[in-house]
Amino acid sequence: MQKIIIASDHGGFNLKTTIYNHLSELGYDIEDYGCYNTDSCDYPVYAQKVANAVSTNAQMCGILVCGTGIGMSIAANKINGIRAALCSDTFSARMTRMHNNSNILCLGERVIGQGLALDIVDTWLNTGFEGGRHQKRIDMI
């Protein structure tokens, strides 16, 4: 089972905590890279920590949460080898794994509810990459 690295800024702290607890209960190997409370902080710091870890180890994937998920996805995608996908529905979560082999999932606490977020996380983690013609496209990135 892949190791999951998770992080958030203050705007995503509550959802990150919910996701962390959910994944822990399911037995995933998960590590929390921060933040650890709702005090204002800078999302690029946390996006970069997770993206750097994931980019150097193919056995890791990441989950990043901020208020909208937008800032985290932009910041994470600056790191070479990262394919961070912002998802607000399960179809997108499934397709970004199947076709884009995304290695970081980004979510917005202020955009989606906890139940949907957990469904998105579960879908993303349980969907595999199809390879084939999609690998060629990823190689082009």
Residue among 35, 66, 87, 106 flagged as catalytic: 66
Report the percentage of the chain scoring pLDDT > 70.
Answer: 99
CA dihedral 46, 100, 80, 124 (to 10 degrees): 20
- Is residue 82 a contact partner of residue 104, using CB atoms and an 8 Å limit? yes
**In this structure, what are the phi and psi dihedrals at residue 78, rounded to the nearest 5 degrees?**
-75, -15
Mean pLDDT of 63-81: 98
Give me the amino acid identity at 23.
Answer: L
Q: What is the mean pLDDT of the chain?
A: 96
| Residue at token pair 């650890």 | 36
pLDDT at 69: 98
Does the annotation mark 66 as catalytic?
A: yes
Does the annotation mark 99 as catalytic?
A: yes
DSSP 48-75: HHHHHHHHT-TTEEEEEEESSSHHHHHH
Residues 6+ apart with CB under 8 A from 56: none
Does the pLDDT value for residue 1 go beyond 80?
no
The pLDDT tens digits for 17-43 are 999 999 999 999 999 999 999 999 999
Give me the amino acid identity at 97.
Answer: R
Does the pLDDT value for residue 141 go beyond 70?
yes
In the chain, how many domains are there? Answer: 1
CATH number at residue 103: 3.40.1400.10
Residues facing 105 on adjacent strands = 63, 85
pLDDT at 130: 82
The pLDDT tens digits for 87-121 are 999 999 999 999 999 999 999 999 999 999 999 99
Domain extent, residue 13, equals 3-140
pLDDT at 2: 81
The CA distance from 96 to 75, in Å, is: 18
Residue among 10, 22, 41, 99 flagged as catalytic: 99
Report the percentage of the chain scoring pLDDT > 90.
Answer: 89
